[in-house]
Structure 1
Amino acid sequence: MEHRKLGSSGLVLSEIAFGNWITHGAQVDETTAHECVRAALDAGITTFDTADVYSETRAESVLGKALAGERREGLVLATKVCHPVGPGPNDRGLSRKHIIEGCEASLRRLGTDYVDLYYAHRFDASVPLEETMLAFADLVRGGKALYIGVSEWTADQITRAAGLARELRVPLVASQPQYSMLWRVAESQVIPACDREGLGQVVFSPLAQGILTGKYLPGAEAPSGSRVTDPLGKGFVDMLVGRWMNDESALRAVQELKPVAQEAGLTMSRLAIAWVLQNPSVTSAIIGASRPEQVRENAAASGVRLEKEVMARIDEVLAAHIERDPAKTG
């Protein structure tokens, strides 16, 4: 497992991060979740990503239990705040009240005194950005969060937040966008803004919810046990990548990547994850897994270097299906 510095900060992340969105506390039992975390640790993964909203807060609790007993200083633990986690009007958003209370609740569930990286899960236009950033600053000064990040914010929102972060001396160092061979929305505006402001990219869905593994064949039923055969998983897949799942020409194009992967000596999943890691602005790619063998397979993408010819061939094969519109951020 190779590691990279996060943006302009001194924080070092593993190139592959383990995330437990959808899986822990929902799709897999706790024993399997712990086995996946153990497989991640055995593969050299040091970065773990979760959020309070995942599986209605259960994902944080499962991850906390799975990491109990590990050397805390050897881990980079990230979670997020913004989405609703309760019925009340203050159980959501980026108000000072919810950020402070949300962080305390996450720490209890994770069984730790601090998180290394605390994300604003989405932008909250109903709250003054100054209030949001001051709350994060107070968490940093109180030692509850060491670094701050944002997820699926626009370039303008990131630039404004970075200006406030400098004034408040808050280490705003991470952006977490969706990013894959098919979804390149962050490339034209978000990533350049982050490069200017010193934020590194910790990207999610590098496999486009499994589409880039090649397991979904045009005109065929989804494989048994795949994410789209699970009611919860299917909803998220439809939301993020439904346009390709329902487009046989896109699925055929993905199948054309198989010989590209074979010639590079890679599986489809390793090719897709390695592709996002070729971008020098990307610090880490988040993988999810419902089985330990998936963790081991995907972690092996760390350190892979793709030739320019391979990158060009990927662009050629997928050209008609790549989404680049920055207006679709978030």
Structure 2
Amino acid sequence: MTYLPKESRYDGMQYNRCGKWGLKLPAVSLGLWHNFGGIDVFENGRAMLHRAFDLGITHFDLANNYGPPPGSAEENFGKILKQDFSAYRDELIISSKAGYLMWPGPYGEWGSRKNLLASLDQSLNRMGLEYVDIFYSHRPDPDTPLEETMMALDRAVRSGKALYVGISNYPADMAKEAAQILKELGTPCLIHQPRYSMFERWVEDGLLDVLEEEGIGCIPFSPLAQGLLTNKYLKGIPEGSRATREVFLKKEHVETAHDKIVALNTIAQERGQSLAQMALAWILRDKRITSVLIGASSVKQLDDNVEMLKNVAFSDKELEAIEEVLK
């Protein structure tokens, strides 16, 4: 089946500038952390990518270790890109990252020049690309000088294998230092990708201020707290849900947060939204946020999440009610 994107794909999406820089990202970006790996249904992932682009989502976010198995999300994305999106490459923002474990031995993870640049070459090969639009240091490395990691990002751009660079999971002080090093090297930091949701708000304690001062964009991941901020856990833990697998989301997390989930859902219903839609809109309420990075397991879930763009404004009363639940 030949994929032809909708001509109206840009009509309903909002695009925001990354900090002070020229690149714009859609208000909603699609992450391929889950549901696009070798154990997943290929055609389901393909259908979600088609629908995302039809909705105006131009940014697809990957990492070297996404799968499982690690690397398989990039491999599958590369197949879909070649099959369906090759004519639209210049309309896409494709990002990847390196820093988590990918291969055995001392060079298979963290932030050395050796690891980052070797990993970038591997990612490009898996996806069949000459360059990625954004290449991230996926996490800070406590044992490698920050200068070395940032010099590797600078090299990625100067080699033509990345157009922009970013950082992910960096605390405020380290993010500021990284931005200053990159600025001196002549390859500015475009964007930061932190974990941020109603249930995990550490970015509000300094990081967002740093990003604003440095002119860096922000694209939060896990905005639904691994599914906690959805209707899935309103009545407990359903069989087969992510919490039953006890990997990233634990049963105890659901039990601890249950009363807050129910209270937040009531506020969402009063807004005419699902809990997930309100949680995504809540992230975008802050103008320092460039894009919110969502995951999806189906086309319907993708549609439901993007639907929240029709109601992203909050009254003072609504924000006060949310804060009362979250305190």
TM-score by length of 1: 0.89
Deviations 1:216-272 (A, max 9, x none): 135x3x22443224x3xx30113xxx653131xx21221112231122121111111
**Equivalent of 2:218 in 179, 192, 201:** 201
> Which 4+ residue blocks in structure 1 deviate beyond 3 angstroms?
none
RMSD between aligned residues: 1.6
1:125 aligns with 2:112: no
Residue of structure 2 in register with 1:280 after alignment: 287
**What is the distance in 1 between the residues matched to 2:314 and 2:20?**
25
- Could you tell me which of 29, 34, 41 is aligned with 1:29? 41
What SS is found at the alignment partner of 2:134? strand
Query: Residue 227 of structure 1 corresponds to which residue in structure 2?
Result: 242
Amino acid at match of 1:35: A
1:252 and 1:88 mapped to 2: Cα distance?
A: 45
The reply to whether residue 212 of structure 1 matches residue 226 of structure 2 is no
Q: Given that residues 178 and 204 in structure 1 are in contact (C-alpha distance below 8 angstroms), is that contact kept between their aligned partners in structure 2?
A: yes
What is the distance in 2 between the residues matched to 1:198 and 1:256?
A: 36
Aligned to 2:184: 167
Structure 1 residue 106 and structure 2 residue 123: aligned? yes
In 1, Cα distance between the equivalents of 2:38 and 2:323?
Answer: 35
- Residues 37 and 67 in structure 1, CA contact (< 8 A), matched pair in contact too: no
How many residues in Structure 1 have an aligned counterpart in Structure 2? 309
Q: How far is 1:306 from its partner?
A: 2.0
Residue 10 (structure 2) aligns with: none
Q: Which residue of 2 aligns with 1:296?
A: 303
Give the CA deviation at 1:175.
0.8
Q: Give the Å deviation of 1:26.
A: 5.2
Give 2:320's aligned amino acid: A
Distance 1:115 1:292 in 2: 25
Match for 2:261 among 254, 267, 271? 254
Distance 1:130 1:61 in 2: 31
Q: Deviations over 1:285-308 (max 9, x none)?
A: 111111111111111223522222
Other-structure match for 2:9: none
Letter in 2 for 1:244: H
User: What is the alpha-carbon distance in structure 2 between the residues aligned to residue 161 and residue 312 of structure 1?
Assistant: 35
Number of the residue aligned with 1:88: 105
CA contact (8 A) 1:28 1:290 kept: no
Q: Which of residues 52, 55, 61 in structure 1 aligns to 2:75? A: 61
1:27, 1:97 → 2: CA distance?
A: 29
8 Å contact kept, 1:27–1:290: no
| Residue aligned with 2:95, SS | strand
CA distance in 1, matches of 2:240, 2:18: 35
Question: What is the CA–CA distance in structure 1 between the aligned matches of 2:290 and 2:66, rounded to whole Å?
Answer: 23
- CA deviation after TM superposition for structure 1 residue 27, in Å: 5.6
Aligned-partner Cα distance in 1 for 2:22–2:316 = 30
Alpha carbons 2:137, 2:153 under 8 Å: kept: no
Q: State which of 313, 322, 325 in structure 2 corresponds to 1:317.
A: 325
Which structure exhibits the higher relative contact order, with contacts defined as CA atoms closer than 8 Å and separated by 6 or more residues?
1
Superposed displacement of residue 318, structure 1: 2.1
Number of the residue aligned with 1:244: 253
Q: What's the CA shift for 1:137?
A: 0.9
Indicate conservation of the 8 Å contact 2:194/2:203, yes or no. Answer: yes
**CA positional deviation for 1:166:** 1.1
Q: Distance in 2 between matches of 1:235 and 1:225?
A: 13
After TM superposition, the score normalised by the length of structure 2 is 0.90
The residue type paired with residue 51 of structure 1 is A
Hey, what's the Cα distance between the residues in 1 that align with 2:40 and 2:308?
24
Q: Distance in 2 between matches of 1:169 and 1:122?
A: 21
Q: Quick check: 1:116–1:147 contact (8 Å CA) kept in 2? A: yes
Q: Give yes or no for the alignment of 1:46 onto 2:58.
A: yes
Gaps of 5+ in 2: 1-12
